[in-house]
Amino acid sequence: MTTALPVAGRNALAGRSVVVKVPATTANLGPGFDTLGLALAHYDHLQVEVLDEPGVFVEVHGIGAGEVPTDESNLVVRAIAHTFAAYDIPLPGLKLIAENVIPHGRGMGSSGAAIVSGIMAAKGLLEGIVDIDSDALLVLATEMEGHPDNVAPALFGGLTIAWMTPEGPKHKKLMVHRGVSPLVFVPVHAMSTALARSLQPESVPHEDAVFNLSRSALLIAALIQSPELLLAATEDKLHQSYRAAAMPETNRLITLLREHGFAAVVSGAGPSILVLASDPGQRLVAADLVAEKSETPWQTLMLAVDFKGATVIRTDV
């Protein structure tokens, strides 16, 4: 994947600028642990400009303003630098303006979105100098994220199945049935993905593995063809029960929603709740139920499935 950049190419970076748009994601979807992901129409935006002078200057607006780093340790900057380094290209001076709406630490793929934002920005800045195809994008993003289930839908949109091979990460994108209507309940408190993963056992019973295999297969059918099967298809025995004690209100509301017939699961590592409704009207009933029964504040996001994934546009041409 490494391509040396001629001196003339380095000069070509001067004055380049791009805008990037990346969707939120929700991973696992119940039984599809570390495999299934869905892109949601809730977007972080990024502007990047190449500067004449060295150094990195970062502005963050919206979610994370005043909290996330604004120097070279910023995750978006690190993703840009990672991409440039993969092609043996020195990192130029950069100005970044991030407009963030994806909640941090809530299981909606904020770190994956930041990584994808940086990689897509690098792709746009290097247009005509190196060609970074979709396979390379997924490799770069997975190298930074550690696993592809969040970065694949952020990059490509829709429903994605992601897996690892000896040659690297792979993905398959599927279109979602138009009746599927995602609803996300976002709590005020965050949850560390590392903490959530630490609660996962090293091994699980054979019958639980078989259970999840059947539900994962059913979930694909439910999402692309038969939304009426979503409640049964989102059953899980591999990860949610092990993490329940760390997010009791999330677990309580998921149990309540499922008892009322809603396909509710933990969104990613949590603590947000994803409801995969079979029609838009069903979401209103679920939202009313949570508003009535919740013991802590929750933000309600009624979202569409994003089918396009991350985009980058050159703004200097």
Q: Is 248 annotated as a binding residue?
A: no
Q: Any binding-site annotation on 113?
A: yes
Distance CA(213)–CA(220), nearest Å, equals 11
DSSP 8-state assignment for residue 306: P
Tell me if 206 is assigned to a ligand binding site.
no
Distance CA 181, CA 84 (A): 38
Q: Is 66 annotated as a binding residue?
A: no
Q: Looking at the chain, how many residues does it have? A: 317
Q: Which positions ≥6 away from 299 have C-beta within 8 Å? A: 103, 185, 186, 187
Locate tokens 């070279």: which residue?
72
As given in the structure block, the two tokens for residue 151 are 């970065």
- Establish whether 110 is an annotated binding residue: yes
Q: Are 290 and 253 in contact (CB under 8 A)?
A: yes
| 18 DSSP β-pair partners | 48, 314
The answer to the question of whether 157 is labelled as a binding residue is: no
Best CA proximity match to 143, nearest among 283, 262, 1: 1
**Contact (CB, 8 A) for 293 and 253:** yes
Q: Is 106 annotated in some ligand binding site?
A: yes
Say which DSSP state 188 is in. S
Rounded Cα gap, residues 28 and 151, in angstroms: 13
Residue 241 marked as a ligand binder: no
105 assigned to a ligand binding site? yes
Q: CA–CA separation, 272 vs 268, rounded Å? A: 8
Binding-site residue numbers for ATP are 103-113
Binding-site residue numbers are 103-113
